[in-house]
Amino acid sequence: MDLAEQADFGDKPSFPSGDDLSEALAWQAERFPDVALSQRTSFSRFENADQAWDPEGAFVEVLMGYQTQFAAGMDDRVRGAHLMAFYSHHLSIAVGALFLKTGRVIDLDPSTLAVRFEPLGEKTLQNRPADARRLHFCFSDFASGSDPLAAFHDGFVAGLRPVVNTIASRSGLSPTALWRLAADGLTGAFLDVGIALCDEKRAMGLARSLVRKSGSPLSFDVHFEYVETNIEGILSGRFFRLRSGCCLFYRTKDGRFCDVCVLLDERTRKDRLRAHLEGAGGR
């Protein structure tokens, strides 16, 4: 059992009393500028998610094509897997940041959640390709109910159903494989937000509760691992989310396995994560 498995996440999830919404949105925009979140004031320039994810729609075609900027030699299955990881992670960053900061659960019903794929702003473009883009989610309201975790889980699953259905039909990947990638996207995003909040244990605990719900399409074994390394005499470490599903990136022309790949043996994975830590100065 890894250190993350032994960590005390608490018997019950805890939620903050609630930051101001505008402050939380500003925090998310500053810390995670690769994805945008806003509250809807009009319907202009956005598509509702259920319409955007029409299998024959332009939105899907643009997103499938955009994945090829990450690697050469992607076929439809690789593009589909990468798109599922890309979309679920960015959606989870956007709504997870607000959830972990304020305890509020955004209504992710695809008939009311809106989305667009937009160019990155000039400030965000630093060291990025000039044609880099991001997902921008726009919500209308918050979910109701007395159980925030249940509301988040049910909304997240509902919001991703048209995504899973469309990518499955376009790529040939099974819905089970795509839901596994969605669970990875959710748990990885919660860890990223938790690290930014200096509260990663609570974030990991909530993420685990979300994906371990009985009967959920997200119900897969998800693991976090704490990795340490010595940098100039100082012991540094951090948690990593390990993949439970494969994004198929190893099948691209570059042929690399990602550092948290489910296909790596434990020793190789730990060596690569330590090297990552050392290259990032322990962060």
Q: What is the pLDDT of residues 37-47, one digit of tens each?
A: 999 876 678 99
Residues with Cβ within 8 Å of 154's Cβ and at least 6 positions away in sequence, in order, are 143
d(CA 260, CA 187): 13
Residue with tokens 């609570």: 202
Residue 86, Cα to own-chain centre: how many angstroms?
Answer: 7
Phi (first) and psi of residue 88, to 5 degrees: -65, -35
What's the confidence (pLDDT) of residue 281? 62
d(CA 130, CA 258): 25
Q: What is the pLDDT of residues 156-172, one digit of tens each?
A: 999 999 999 999 999 99
Higher pLDDT, 20 or 135: 135
Give yes or no for residue 70 having a pLDDT over 60: yes
Q: What is the pLDDT of residues 75-117, one digit of tens each?
A: 999 999 999 999 999 999 999 999 999 999 999 999 999 999 9
What's the confidence (pLDDT) of residue 7? 41
Higher pLDDT, 36 or 275: 36
Give yes or no for residue 9 having a pLDDT over 60: no
User: Per-residue confidence at 123, pLDDT binned at 50, 70, 90?
Assistant: low
d(CA 58, CA 72): 22
Lowest mean pLDDT among 7-16, 107-116, 174-183, 264-273: 7-16
Q: Averaged over 205-226, what is the pLDDT?
A: 91
Residue with tokens 């599922």: 84
Q: What is the pLDDT of residues 139-162, one digit of tens each?
A: 999 998 889 999 999 999 999 999
Sign of CA dihedral 27, 31, 33, 37: negative
When the pLDDT of each residue in the chain is averaged and rounded to a whole number, the result is 87
Q: What is the DSSP letter of 251?
A: G
C-alpha dist (Å) from residue 200 to 71, 75, 187, 218, 234: 30, 36, 11, 21, 21
Give yes or no for residue 218 having a pLDDT over 80: yes
Higher pLDDT, 5 or 216: 216
Q: b or e along 7-44 (b: 16 or more beta carbons within 10 Å of the residue's beta carbon)? A: eebeeebebeeebeeeebbebbbeebeebbbeeeeeee
What's the confidence (pLDDT) of residue 131? 83
Diameter of the chain measured on Cα atoms = 56
Show me where the domains of the chain are located.
11-215
pTM (predicted TM-score): 0.88
d(CA 26, CA 260): 30
Lowest mean pLDDT among 25-29, 71-75, 138-142: 71-75
Q: What is the DSSP letter of 191?
A: H
Q: Averaged over 12-21, what is the pLDDT?
A: 58
C-alpha dist (Å) from residue 39 to 21, 95, 143, 198, 200: 10, 11, 13, 26, 26
What's the confidence (pLDDT) of residue 19? 56
